[in-house]
Structure 1
Amino acid sequence: MTAQSDVWAGMGWDWTDGDDIRRRLDEGADPERWSGGRPLHRAAAFGSREVVAELAGRVADVDALEDGVTALWEAVVARKPDSARALAAAGADPWRLSIGGWSPGRLSLAGPTPGLFPVPEGVSLTDTERAAAQEADRLTTALGEFYYDGTGLACVADIDAAEAVRRLEAAPMEDEAVDGLLDDPYGYDMDESLQIIGVTSVPGGCAVTQSWGYAPQMPGVLA
């Protein structure tokens, strides 16, 4: 293990502390790599504008690739407009082609910040792509904001919640029992908690959810 890699020790997914990152870099941390990949890519997806700007000023190539994409692509995908602007200000190319022939700039046209970069003449979405982007925005807005790590979800067309409950041969849970489970789902036996799911009627069908497990995606439940 090198001295440089030691300086990055303890770094995980949180790349928001500008003072900490600056200290590590000043102490010899390599701005080009750490054990989890390229620092600039991780900061673009999970960090702050301050950290992205700091790293962008220290790397040899702000458009270096990791897994075939640039840090700017990561920032656009992660919906980090401030970080994307910091990368563009540092010289990253918004119109460099990447996955599927898309560039970070063109991808941004399909997201919530279409005005993120000045758009060159002749660059635009097709009618089909624009319609898909609008539908994606409608669906994500309907889904809302929630902590989704580990959440099970199945969206089933043409049946409502009552019919889903009937097909699953399920029975309602007491409110108190559900409240206790939601407060501490991992305090319960997994075999027991996986048997409890939520079903909600929505336009066109129903949504089957479980915030702590994968039961909605189990083949038997889907069938």
Structure 2
Amino acid sequence: MAAQGDGWSGMGGNWTDADDIRRRLDTGRRCSALRRLLRSSPTGLRMDALEDGVTALWEAVMSRKPANARALAAAGADPWRPSLGGWSPGRLSLAGPTPGLFPAPDGVSLTATERAAAQEAPRLTAALGEFYYDGTGLACVAGIDAAEAVRRLEATPVVDDSLLGVLNELLEDPYAHDMDESLHIVGVTSVPGGCVVTGCSRVGPASSRWTP
């Protein structure tokens, strides 16, 4: 009975359609109650509440949603609160495509090295192209080749034909195999100036595999 007329049926995991969410906020009974709660609360929402170690504002900046980030900041989220690695959402924005997203306090800026990396990022992003594989992580490592990366990962190279066959089967139908086992596969490729490492973020170095 609680689910009847709450205005949120069919949302699923997509909360990016602002117009749809506003419509639901205007028609849902529970949402009307939420609006009343926010109006009556002296502090409103905890705008800097953490989820998986970061705030909603950090996620908005990281996801390149400047309108969302500005709305959160206007509602009270702190752009300069330290988050991952000591970086704040505001400092993260300085390294992204919208460096003027928030007015920067005195003394807050990128280092020369960080500015150079931010300037290089669009070229590298364009060179990489656009693709999506669920769970994929990618790192570009300077100064070492694939062989050195494999040594540091304490990985076992995949050179046997039978192992290559297993790898090909996994790539053709990943959901037909045990997820934990597939997480131990890492791809390493030498490139000018370093190497590219790709795989899942939970790979364990003691049992990693690699393929050139």
Which letter maps to 1:168?
P
Structure 1: 5+ residue stretches without partners: 34-54
State which of 77, 81, 91 in structure 2 corresponds to 1:98: 81
What are the superposed Cα offsets for residues 33-88 of structure 1, whole Å, 9 maximum, x if unpaired?
7xxxxxxxxxxxxxxxxxxxxx9xx9544773322876434312322123224445
Q: Structure 1 residues 136 and 13, CA, compared in 2 at 3 Å: closer, same or farther?
A: farther
The match for 2:146 is 160
Q: How many residues align?
A: 190
- Displacement of 1:109: 1.4
Per the normalisation by structure 1, the TM-score is 0.55
Alpha-carbon separation, structure 2, partners of 1:207 and 1:98 = 32
What are the superposed Cα offsets for residues 112-142 of structure 1, whole Å, 9 maximum, x if unpaired?
210223x357353152xx5235436746636
Cα pair 1:152 1:209 within 8 Å, conserved: yes
What are the superposed Cα offsets for residues 1-53 of structure 1, whole Å, 9 maximum, x if unpaired?
856995445544311234542343222233797xxxxxxxxxxxxxxxxxxxx
The match for 1:135 is 117
Matched, 1:219 2:206: yes
**Larger relative strand fraction:** 2
Task: Provide the aligned C-alpha RMSD in A.
Answer: 4.8
Q: What is the percentage of aligned positions where both structures have the same residue? A: 49
Alpha-carbon separation, structure 1, partners of 2:150 and 2:92 = 37
Partner-residue secondary structure (3-state), 2:21: helix
Q: Structure 1 residues 75 and 66, CA, compared in 2 at 3 Å: closer, same or farther?
A: same
Matched, 1:201 2:190: yes
Partner-residue secondary structure (3-state), 2:188: strand
Alpha-carbon separation, structure 2, partners of 1:63 and 1:32 = 17
Structure 2: 5+ residue stretches without partners: none
Per the normalisation by structure 2, the TM-score is 0.57
The match for 1:76 is 61
Alpha-carbon separation, structure 2, partners of 1:59 and 1:158 = 53
Which letter maps to 1:64?
M
